[in-house]
Amino acid sequence: MNRQQFLQRFFLQPAKGSVLLQMEKSKAAAVLVVLREYQGELQLLLTKRSSDLRHHPGQISFPGGKMEANEQSHQAALRETHEETGITPEQLQLIGQLPSYATGTGFLIQPWIALLNQEAELKLQASEVESAFWLPLSFVLDSQNIHSEYFAMHGQSHLVHFMPYGPHLIWGATAAILYSLKQQLHFY
């Protein structure tokens, strides 16, 4: 799928999904699903969080983090992406958002989607990001690449998605957001 096909599908489909695992007193966070067109195909930027972080160490995630006071979610997503990867807001075209996702650890994540307007050299913030890689959108859209299981959390059963990709295991909130993107693009 190229850039134009993505935009057509994304904007022609109504947003699907809802806030999952809603919890009281959730901490507001935002992430950015950064897409680039590479050799005619779209890819998504994912990061591996530093093993030294307090929350979700070593996990695969989107650039993002907690919202600061008086900050809107899209501003937080752009700011955190710049801090973590070196990609500036000027290099991105913000095109929309996906449904919020509440984690079992107390974060309410607002995912935003942006297209990279030009090739960017990643400058990873070592204290937060161990590494980064580009995941083909076609991999996300292939139903054979996602596995789901029910797990008990907080006394309830919740569906958790998993996407193994090479040496990486994408799961939890990141996999749920990718699944939501897949639904938004109307691929089942």
Torsions phi, psi of 173, nearest 5? -60, -40
Please write the tens of the pLDDT for every residue from 75-91: 999 999 999 999 999 99
Burial tier of 75 (Cβ tally within 10 Å: 0-12, 13-18, 19+): middle
Residues in the chain predicted with pLDDT less than 50, given as ranges, are 17-24, 187-188
Residue 144 confidence (pLDDT): 93
Q: CB 98: neighbour CB atoms within 10 A?
A: 24
**Domains of the chain with CATH codes:** 3-136+174-184 (3.90.79.10)
